[in-house]
Every structure is written in C-alpha cells, then in structure tokens.
Amino acid sequence: MKQKIYKQEITGYIMLSLVIALTIFFLIYSFYSGTNHSAFVSLSTIAFLIYFIVMLINYSKTKIIVEDFSLIYETLFKRKMVSFDQIIKIETSANIEGISHQGQVRAKYALILYSHKEKIDIRIKTFSRKNLTELARLIIAKCPTAEIDVQTHKMAEGKMPSAFKSF
C-alpha cells in the first residue's frame, strides 16, 4: 500500500488567516492612532499575532499518515507512531468540554488508539468527513483483533460522532 496522508480541511486555514489579517490591521491601526494606550494595544496585538501564526503553522503541520504497518499522528509539537498490530482498542468520542457564557458549546472530537504502551489521542474535528470515513475503514481493516467501539464503526459508514446525540 502506498502511504496515505490525511490533512485538515482548508476552512481552518481561511479562518486562521482572517484572524491574522484582523490582528495585523489592529496592530497597524494602533501604531497610527493618537491614543495613549497604543503601546499596550500594540503589545497585546503582537502577542495575539504570534499566537495565531503559531496556531496556523501547527494547523498546517497536523496530519495523519497511514503506512503499510503503522499510523503516525503528527503536529508541530509532537509525532506519535503506533504499529497496527500493537493497537488493542479503538474509540471515537465526541464530548462536550464546556459551554461559554454566550451559549457556545465547545466539544472535543477524538479518535483514540490504545496500544500496550500508550494512548494516542487524535483530534478529528477539523478533518473532512470523507477523510474520516476512509481513515476509519482503513483502521478497522488493519486492526482485526482490536476492540472497536460502535462510533468508530458508524464513522466508517459515514456517520460522524456528535456531542449532542449518542448512537
């Protein structure tokens, strides 16, 4: 099998790029405005700009690589590899992490691979449905002895996990 690489969706790049553009706009505006708070605004804007640039780089580096005998989850900050024959359990979860005071729900969508040595927690929220369906099918096929939960089987059928309903 040829190496298969799954990358995150382009919409995330667009959103992060818009945030960076707005931050640059406020940075330029603060330099040219005649307010007394321009130094504070400039420093905080620079901090946000650095944060979002790092997030954009991390977003662009995040990928799942499926090889013949292993799976690699790679971000800017970590690289985890697991052999398919070492995977003993596979779970797909969608859990609500919190609700903001504006009423927005934050949910964590993850594909969790358990091996004898470690647990690999793959954040799947920003990957496309097509890629996740294909990835779930591949993992199920390559790990016939692993304990696989219902949500992972549903994901292989094209039904994505939801934090609001259970299967």
Lowest mean pLDDT of 34-48, 71-85, 134-148, name the range: 34-48
Please give the pLDDT value at position 156.
Answer: 94
> Residue 93 contacts by C-beta under 8 Å, 6 or more apart in sequence?
108, 109, 110, 112, 151, 161
pLDDT digit string (tens) for 48-57?
Answer: 778 878 887 8
| Domain spans, the chain | 4-61, 84-156
Task: Supply the pTM of this predicted model.
Answer: 0.75
Residue of 73 and 167 predicted with greater confidence: 73
Phi-psi map region of 34: left, alpha, beta (phi>0 left; psi -120 to 50 alpha):
alpha
| Single-letter amino acid, residue 153 | H
pLDDT digit string (tens) for 78-102?
Answer: 999 999 999 999 999 887 777 766 6
Residue 109 predicted with pLDDT over 70: yes
Rounded to the nearest integer, the mean pLDDT of the chain is 82
Residue 139 predicted with pLDDT over 90: yes
Q: What separation in angstroms does the CA of 151 have from each of 80, 84, 120, 157? A: 23, 19, 17, 10
Q: Give the start-end residues of each E strand in 69-118.
A: 70-74, 79-83, 87-99, 105-115
136 within 8 A of 150, measured Cβ to Cβ: no
